[in-house]
Amino acid sequence: MMKKQSPETLVAQAAGHVEPVSRGLAPGIYPATTYERDPDLSLPGGAVYARDENPAFDAAEDMLRELEGGAEAMLFASGMASGAALFKALRQGDRVILPQVMYFALQVWVKGFAERFGLELELVENDAASYAAALARKPARLVWVETPSNPLWTITDIAAVADACRSCGAKLAVDNTVPTPVFTRPLALGADFVMHSATKGLNGHSDVLAGALVTRDKSDPIWQGAREERRLGGAVLGPFEAWLLARGMRTLFVRVERAAANAAALADWLDARPDVARVLYPGLASHPDHDVAARQMHGGFGSMLSILTGGGEERARAVKGRLKLFRRATSLGGVESLVEHRKSVEGPTSQAPADLLRLSVGIEALQDLKDDLKRALEGND
């Protein structure tokens, strides 16, 4: 009997999925929206309707379930849809704890939904002690952690927050978009749910809008509510997008590891430059959360970093404008490197410093990335 496969082998071989008719090594694309029943009304293929079950989802969901070590995974039409599904599964009056610094759009949506739907919402600092204090004051139904946090890249101790949640019966959800399961596995650290904007590192090619959830217990009422939200709310992924996601995931490790190695090298190089005020990257020994990051992130610290250029917003915008190889675009986790001035993107309520530039580091040649940043920082067009 073959021993259990490593994660790298699992995704490279699409979790064993092949096209069943031709035996093609690429999983198939299944555009059907409805499925035939036998005369006795049974469903020999197991599917009823494409909004409920779709064989197009199987490869990506199986890979993600195995990578995260969960009991079940679900694909959604976007990362926002996957995160929203967990909150929509709550009951009126439920208490929710969110971090102060997290993906801006999701926090804005949760605030609005909590106000309309009647959830009790508290925002806390991105550290385990703040979560524990909030739970000690009053238990919660759902606790949300994003680590590293976007765009300051602070680290939250998942295991410590999970312990605090267990003490009062709260469920813990972790946004694992940035590190991906290559570097962090929240369920193994005590989380109940994992969320991904699969648009980012999981797909890795900036050509699929997708989201995903993974659970440690598929009988959990919140999970069942999220499943019902996908089935009835209809925020499902299209079959071609699911196929593209599965295809992208097959190169997950080589892409993510290469990008993280580039990011770590750039962080060290930028940290030594006098024309950069500060580098925010958890892989730096000087990062205030480096010890926690080293304990819960294995094999690397991800491909995201931010720099404070100094000189306020004017200099940050000028540096961004001079970059040629780093593309000025929103998103992260793709094979190409991106730069963004987060404060101008997020608007007046943004917590990003005015001189912060967020860098999503890709898989290009490291020296080319250094040359691009050097020219821009030194004021050369």
Q: Which two tokens stand for residue 174?
A: 């972790």
User: Based on the number of CB atoms within 10 Å of its own CB, is 205 exposed (0-12), middle (13-18) or buried (19 or more)?
Assistant: middle
Q: How far apart are CA 309 and CA 318, in angstroms?
A: 10
Active-site residue, selected from the candidate residues 30, 35, 103, 281: 103
**SS3 state of residue 120:** strand
**What pLDDT does residue 3 have?**
59
pLDDT digits (tens, 9 = 90+) for 242-270: 999 999 999 999 999 999 999 999 999 99
Full 3-state SS string of 121-187: EEEECCCHHHHHHHHHHCCCCEEEEECCCCCCCCCCCHHHHHHHHHHHCCEEEEECCCCHHHHCCHH
Q: How far apart are CA 88 and CA 226, in angstroms?
A: 7
Q: Which of 141, 200, 216, 230 is catalytic?
A: 200
Q: What is the dihedral of CA 168, 170, 176, 179, to 10 degrees?
A: 0
pLDDT of residue 50: 85
Is 355 annotated as catalytic? no
CATH numbers and ranges of domains, the chain? 7-249 (3.40.640.10), 252-377 (3.90.1150.10)
For 98, 115, 129, 313, the CA distances from 122, given in Å and listed in that order, are 6, 12, 15, 30
Among 62, 157, 175, 372, the one annotated catalytic: 175
Active-site option among 51, 166, 231, 273:
51
Task: State yes or no: is 51 an active-site residue.
Answer: yes
Taking the C-alpha atoms of residue 304 and residue 373, their distance in angstroms, rounded to an integer, is: 15
103-156: per-residue pLDDT in tens? 999 999 999 999 999 999 999 999 999 999 999 999 999 999 999 999 999 999
Residue 312 burial (C-beta neighbours within 10 Å; 0-12, 13-18, 19+) = exposed
Residue 1 is predicted with a pLDDT of 46
* Eight-state DSSP code of residue 379: T
- pLDDT tens, residue order, the chain (381 aa): 455 789 998 899 888 888 887 888 888 888 888 888 899 988 888 888 888 888 899 999 999 999 999 999 999 999 999 999 999 999 999 999 999 999 999 999 999 999 999 999 999 999 999 999 999 999 999 999 999 999 999 999 999 999 999 999 999 999 999 999 999 999 999 999 999 999 999 999 999 999 999 999 999 999 999 999 999 999 999 999 999 999 999 999 999 999 999 999 999 999 999 999 999 999 999 999 999 999 999 999 999 999 999 999 999 999 999 999 999 999 999 999 999 999 999 988 888 999 999 999 999 999 999 999 999 999 987
The model carries a pTM of 0.94
State the sign of the Cα–Cα–Cα–Cα dihedral 356, 370, 176, 248: positive
Distance CA 121, CA 142 (A): 10
- Report d(CA 281, CA 188) in Å as an integer: 24
CA distance 319 to 374: 10
Q: Which helix (H) or strand (E) holds 278?
A: strand 278-280
Amino acid 164: pLDDT: 98
